Structure 1
Amino acid sequence: MRAETVGVGCDDAAVPESEPGSPGPRAEAVVDLDAVRHNVGLLSGAAAASGAATMAVVKADGYGHGAAAVGRAALSAGAGWLGVATLEEALDLRAAGITGPVLCWLHVPDEEFAPAVAAGVDLSVSSRDHLAAVLAGAARAGRPARLHLKADTGLGRNGAPPAEWPGLVEDAVAAAADGRAEVVGVWSHLAQADEPSHPTQDVQAAALADAVRHVRDRGIDPIRHLANSAATMTRPDLHLDLVRPGIAVYGLDPIAQPEVSPLRPAMTLRGRVALVKRVPAGHGVSYGHEWTSPGPAVLALVPLGYADGVPRRMNNGGRMRVRLHDEIRPVVGRVCMDQVVVDCGDLDVRAGDTVELFGTGAGGGPTAREWADEIGTIHYEIVTGVHGRRVRRTVLGEHTADRAAVPGGARA
């Protein structure tokens, strides 16, 4: 299995591998693309059973996992589309050689849309002014824009509200009639899909159906998409023509408390011990001396901190655990900008040993969900927070086949 290492937050250009037997990075996020393929295979299989295609969402640099590498793996595993938030993210995928359908949905109207239109990127629009800016970019690009009209069906974020929907549709239909645009899709975003039986899902589905009907009445038959990760996994009736899983692609279950998840987490965050020391009883550790050793202790210094994505609140009360020599050991003292301290107990620990901060959870090891639960957030925030050039991204399982653009999609 081939591994590449890149700086987290950088692109996926190849970096020479370490020489055999050489020490690994002092801090790294290991991304398992075979786990991504497994997850996308499950998600796309569920969608296909409903007659829907799959868009793997790779915004925010693939939720911290690497957008291009994850995108290639997802396309090879059954996804037909990729989804991103920003124009830069979309163009980065094109620069990486990915030519299949890409939807980009979060812009401000004064951005330059011509390069994205020229690159064949589908663009979401939520207002008449927004549409006008995209059409101006299309004119500069010399080709029609591919549009997805977004309706606000109840989330209250992006999307045209019902009162503004007819005007947006009128302008889009006019642009399609004179060759300036193609209306590809109509879509929206669920507010409470992590609660499968919540009534808002049915309300939003009905609102989207009304929005689609308005477009169809004007002679256009767009693809419809609404389902995110949670709805892809729990609400086949909401799959429509295309599903858009995000967090589930990376193996993190969107359902609040799944008994057993079929997903495989793709990221493991680990570091190497920088220093081992013995301290006497009563010795304070880290800022504020919030923890003092109850007896003689062996401590290991690990060079990752809140500047690298370890939340500062993680060790408020000594709740943070790591895996060291296949044992679960506590972090003691405050999380600092650059480092944490581990109480090693009776373990024989040496500088250079590997410490797993979170991973798959195998053998009771810490997970991104556990971190999130400890500090009252969501695992999305944990994995996307792993960033910066100090944390190396090691990509496992990037096959040659993934590097080819994979065409396809829902009536793309």
Structure 2
Amino acid sequence: MISPLTSSPEDRAGAVLTVDLAALVENWRRLKRKAGAACDMGAVVKADAYGLGLAPVARALKDAGCATFYVAHLDEAVALRGIIGPSPRIVCMHGPTPGRTERDFAAHNVIPVLSTAEHIKAWRKFAVAADVLMESMIQIDTGMNRLGLTAREFTTHMDDPEGFLGLHPLALMSHLACADTPSHPLNRLQQERFASALATFRTKFGDAKGSLANSAGILLGPAWHYDFARPGIALYGARATIDGPAWPTVPVVRLAARILQVRRVDAAAPVGYGATVQAPDGAKLATVSMGYADGLLRAASPGGSGVLDGFKVPILGRVSMDLTTFDVSLVPESSAVPGAFIEVIGAAHTVDDLAREAGTVGYEILTALGARFHRRYLPAPPPSARTS
């Protein structure tokens, strides 16, 4: 018989991930105010809500008034439906597997995004055979060359009386390729192409809405907003743009790693696998219980850092699977002790700071967050405290 654990999950954890749901909701509200009342401000919660936990994130946003949620895969949509109940819209951006999963979309009231001629044909066939009249979104490509009908395919479907027969499109949608660089000329070109296609689409579906803007697209201005906005990264407190002034998001994530051991290097010596870095004579090193298995990317060494007692502490040597060593030589002895925590992500060392050090983007940092942390969720305001 296995004895029950007497210690707390936090005491056993090598690192603690704190998610501030009130900050998340505030970021959603700021974007909603930016886009205006005419735009349905949704939330992209794919990839386990960018690594932060689908259930707590979705519930907080639903309670705040979010009515449309976006995921990538059908299994994500089904899990989300069980969390948020029957009323909110769930849009599955990868759409159905043609001829195989349409019935599951209908059973769970998941709106499919139809991006290919095969998608459209299979959905139309299913809708007619099952006598289902259900909303969908039609995706067109306006310059990203990733998903969506090409301009030629869109024109072919519009010209064919049976091209969209049997469909009940809620919206036409597309995706911006360079919205994170506001000055990029493709932003305006995609907006113009989308506006033209939407006007054409509405000659056949007069009530069809438009959806173009992701987080960075919302910041481009009203011409990109249309009827449905799909923010992701900005909800979670990371920067949506590469250049220009940063949108004022509230930090959502704090990740702190527990120090296991502190040592003094008596003489200059290598640190970590490969002996790639030399610790100088007299350096003070702290090794924490966190590594690339937890989402601290190996690319963060060298160049990565954390914060301990207000001091920036650089990573020394390679990040390994479960352990990372920091140079804490400048930190007071009273603070650099086993059991103390080095902040890897927080207000003083943000998601974007860590991403820059690792040569990547905030998206990858968040979605790489591992499952071994102890997770704490700071509550969002109750629904009664909702503001517009």
1:59-78 to structure 2, matched below 5 A, reads 59-78=46-65
Residue 378 of structure 2, aligned match among 389, 392, 396: 396
- 2:312 aligned partner, one-letter code: I
Instruction: Tell me how far 1:72 sits from its aligned partner.
Output: 2.2
Identity of aligned residues (%): 33
Contact persistence 1:56–1:81 (CA under 8 A): yes
Q: Deviations over 1:84-114 (max 9, x none)?
A: 1111111111011333011111144354121
**In structure 1, what residue type is equivalent to 2:13?**
P
Cα deviation, residue 325, structure 1: 2.6
Q: Name the CA distance, whole Å, in 2 between partners of 1:89 and 1:79.
A: 17
Q: Give the one of 323, 326, 336 matched to 2:310.
A: 326
- Name 2:25's counterpart in structure 1: 37
In 2: Cα distance, 1:199 partner to 1:258 partner: 15
Deviations 1:378-398 (A, max 9, x none): 1111111112x3223322215
Q: Give yes or no for contact 2:287–2:323 (8 Å, CA) kept in 1.
A: yes
What is residue 340 of structure 2 aligned with on the other side? Answer: 353
Q: Which residue of 1 aligns with 2:80?
A: 93
Q: C-alpha distance in 2, partners of 1:141/1:27?
A: 50
Note closer, same or farther for the CA distance 1:126–1:369 as it changes in structure 2 (3 Å cut).
same
Q: Which structure exhibits the higher relative contact order, with contacts defined as CA atoms closer than 8 Å and separated by 6 or more residues?
A: 1
CA distance in structure 2 between the partners assigned to 1:188 and 1:46 by the alignment: 20
8 A Cα contact 1:32 1:397, kept in partner: yes
SS of 2:338's partner is: coil
Structure 1 residue 260: deviation in Å? 5.2
The gaps in structure 2 that reach 5 residues or longer are none
Paired with 1:141 and 1:322, the residues of 2 have a C-alpha distance of 56
* Post-superposition CA distance 1:341-363 (Å, at most 9, x none): 12221433322211111122xxx
Equivalent residue, structure 1, for 2:362:
379
Structure 2 residue matching 1:124: 3-state secondary structure: strand
Task: Kindly indicate whether residue 119 of structure 2 is the aligned counterpart of residue 130 of structure 1.
Answer: yes
* Distance of aligned partners of 1:371 and 1:19 in 2 relative to their CA distance in 1, 3 Å threshold: closer
Whole-angstrom CA distance in 2 between matches of 1:139 and 1:272:
58
SS of the aligned residue for 2:41 comes to strand
**1:218 paired to 2:204:** yes
Residue 215 of structure 2 contacts residue 234 of structure 2 at CA under 8 Å; is this kept in 1? yes
CA contact (8 A) 1:152 1:159 kept: yes
Q: C-alpha root-mean-square deviation of aligned residues, in Å?
A: 2.6
Counterpart-to-counterpart distance in 2, 1:63 and 1:155? 22
Partner of 1:194: 180
Is 1:232 aligned to residue 221 of structure 2?
Answer: no
Secondary structure at the counterpart of residue 214 of structure 1: helix
- CA 37–321 in structure 1, closer or farther in 2 if over 3 Å, else same: same
Q: Matched residues in 2 for 1:122 and 1:46: separation?
A: 26
How far, CA to CA, are the matches of 1:392 and 1:141 in structure 2? 46
The alpha carbon displacement at 1:372 in A equals 1.8
Give the drift of 1:168.
3.9
The alpha-carbon deviation at position 207 of structure 1 amounts to 1.5
Shift in Å, 1:284: 1.8
Match of 1:337 among 305, 318, 321: 321
Per-residue CA distance 1:15-42 (angstroms, 9 max, x = gap) = x9x859x726222321111110110010
Q: 1:56 deviation in Å?
A: 0.9
- Secondary structure of the 2:94 match is coil
Aligned residue for 2:151, secondary structure, equals coil
Partner of 1:13: none
Q: What aligned pairs does 1:10-409 form with structure 2 within 5 A after superposition?
A: 23=11, 25-48=13-36, 51-99=38-86, 100-107=88-95, 108-109=97-98, 111-138=100-127, 143-169=132-158, 170=160, 171=162, 173-175=164-166, 181-259=167-245, 261-316=247-302, 319-345=303-329, 346-348=332-334, 349-360=336-347, 365-387=348-370, 389-398=371-380, 401=383
Instruction: Give the 3-state SS of the residue equivalent to 2:101 in structure 1.
Output: coil
CA positional deviation for 1:215? 2.2
CA distance in 1, matches of 2:373, 2:100: 31
Inter-partner Cα distance in structure 2 for 1:98 and 1:43: 24
Q: CA deviation at 1:164?
A: 0.7
Give, as a single letter, the amino acid of the residue that structure 1 aligns with 2:123: V
- 1:351 is paired with a residue of what secondary structure? coil
Residue aligned with 2:119, SS: helix
Q: Residues 139 and 89 (structure 1 numbering): CA distance in 2 closer, same or farther, change over 3 Å?
A: farther
Q: 1:111 to 1:32 in 2, by over 3 A?
A: farther
Deviation at 1:68, TM superposition (A): 2.6
Q: Per-residue deviation at 1:258?
A: 4.9
Question: What are the ranges of 5 or more consecutive residues in structure 1 without an aligned counterpart?
Answer: 1-15, 176-180, 407-412
The letter for the 1-side match of 2:278 is: T
1:157-215 deviation per Cα after TM superposition (whole angstroms, max 9, x unaligned) = 1000011113445546310xxxxx42111010111112223222222122212222232
